[in-house]
Chains A and B, each alone.
Chain A
Amino acid sequence: MTEHVSDDLELYALGALRPGEADRVTAHLAMCPACREELNEVAAVVNALPDMVPLREPPAGLKQRILSAAAADAAAARSALLPSRERAWSIRPTRAWLPVGALAAVAILLLALDLNSLNELRAAENQRAEYALIADKVSHGGRNWYMVGLDQWQGSGGTLFAPGKPDLAPFVVFHDLRPLAGGAMYTVWLVDADGHWVRGANFAPNRDAIQSVELSVPVDAFAQCAVTIEMQTSGKRSGPLVMQSRIAPGP
């Protein structure tokens, strides 16, 4: 077992350790009943500190927003438990590799602006209008960011493209999206540096291995992009987070 952490428990309980330091204490506490007991005593005092704060009435819609999000979360969990034959990401295992290859080719294209790669991509996927459209959009250059599926959505992903041609809207190319149950939908969000979430698109998964979704909001003013599962087509974010990525500032 690692060295006892008694000296750091006040800092830990008050949240005053730096992340790496707190991780070390957390790891020790998991193995040490004596330090856990000591922490409980400190935490009992720290947990009384919120009583210092004047009570404040939350916004009227917050409770409903939380309950809706929890319901959507439960719906998403049920979707994840659907039999494998109903999951788009697993019923066509060979097709599932196609978007990965296409995205890799697109990424290489954006880095090198290699028109030969673009032509190869078009030739390989010319039977799919979706791929051709995507290839056309990215042929103008631009920037892109990959969002990786989190938690039970691992295996899904999406690449946000900000095309280099000004009149083209930003769009996301998703792969291996899971079907949704109970009227839920995917929502693409853009998040600014102050943590404000702006809805960019709502969509239902089409069960294809790859799906392109256009956003109604330019990405330039934002620091992150994310996808959640929502029950409402408007309003604030309330559903579980499916995937997320930072958006690097433009040149």
Chain B
Amino acid sequence: MAPDTLPGDDVLMAALAAHDLTGLSGLYDRYGRLAYALAYRILGESEAAEDVVHDAYISAWRGAQTYRRERGNPRGWLLSIVHHRAVDVLRRKTTFRPAPLEVAEQKAADEDTAAMAERNVEQQTVREALRNLPEAQRRTIELAYFGGYTHVELAELMGVPLGTVKGRMRIGLQKMRRALDGSRS
């Protein structure tokens, strides 16, 4: 079913919590591509990304009754499960992790035009907000979120104190928040 003809997220979540497969199916139709894109972005390989998305949706299926709307929307809840699982898989691998910024730039160039055209204004705003950050802040946020690096690893990788890593994340996210709030008002 096309994502825009599906019931609202809260309706799908209620179905999921009742162990109704239509809820799971609807959430996949709406967020499956984004979930897979995120997992692929973190892991860099299709098979592992597929397994992560599979496991994340099954985890959502089992844990839907623990979901609380006041702690975030279904999209954020689902994507956070995908993110945690993908990072877990990444950290278990012993192979070298490439710098996410370089990988992102490579993959962005590969994106097809039709897919790009589907992204709405807010999504473009996020991209702009991150790209407009000073490089150190942007790189710190990207390496943490997409590269799965812990703050201790980041401090070592970037040759800065732990407090600097934390500060870059805080200031960078605050700037992004202001940019997003500005675009919504």
Contact = CB atoms under 8 A, between A and B. Distances in A.
A43 B80 CA distance: 9
Interface string B14-39: 00000101001100110011111110
Q: Which of A36, A70, A71 has the most CB of B within 10 A?
A: A70
B61 A55 contact: no
B119 A55 contact: yes
Contact of B166 (A7, A195, A196): A7
B104 A15 contact: no
29 contacts: A14-B145, A15-B148, A16-B149, A16-B169, A18-B150, A44-B177, A44-B180, A47-B79, A47-B80, A50-B41, A50-B79, A52-B127, A53-B104, A54-B110, A55-B34, A56-B36, A58-B32, A58-B35, A62-B32, A62-B53, A63-B25, A63-B29, A65-B54, A67-B24, A67-B28, A70-B21, A70-B57, A74-B19, A195-B51
Contacts, number: 162
Contacts of B28: 63, 66-67
A115 interface: no
A57 B151 contact: no
Contacts of B35: 58
Given A40-B71, A58-B53, A66-B58, A16 B48 contact: no
A1 interface: no
A160 to B, nearest CB: 20
A180 interface: no
A198 interface: no
Helix, strand, loop or mixed for chain B's interface?
A: helix
Interface in B104-134: 104, 107-108, 110-111, 115-116, 118-119, 122-123, 126-127, 130
Contacts of A166: none
Interface residues of A, number: 49
Contacts of B169: 10-11, 14, 16
A40 B72 contact: yes
Given A49-B126, A51-B127, A196 B111 contact: no
A15 B176 CA distance: 17
Given A53-B41, A66-B54, A195 B177 contact: no
A17 interface: yes
Contacts of A59: 46, 50
A43 B152 contact: no
Interface string B72-94: 11011001100110010100111
Contacts of B152: 18
Contacts of A10: 166, 169-170, 173
A52 B94 CA distance: 26
A238 interface: yes
Interface in B149-183: 149-152, 154, 165-166, 169-170, 173, 176-177, 180
A156 B45 CA distance: 35
B97 interface: no
A31 B72 CA distance: 17
A54 B108 contact: yes
Given A54-B108, A63-B25, A66-B57, A14 B34 contact: no
B32 A16 contact: no
Given A56-B36, A56-B37, A15 B119 contact: no
Contact of B115 (A55, A73, A196): A55
B21 A50 contact: no
A41 interface: yes
Nearest to B173: A45
A109 to B, nearest CB: 33
A180 to B, nearest CB: 18
A104 interface: no
Nearest to A33: B70
B47 interface: yes
- Sorted from nearest, which 8 A-B pairs have the closest CB atoms? A54-B111, A47-B76, A58-B36, A16-B144, A51-B123, A56-B37, A10-B169, A51-B126
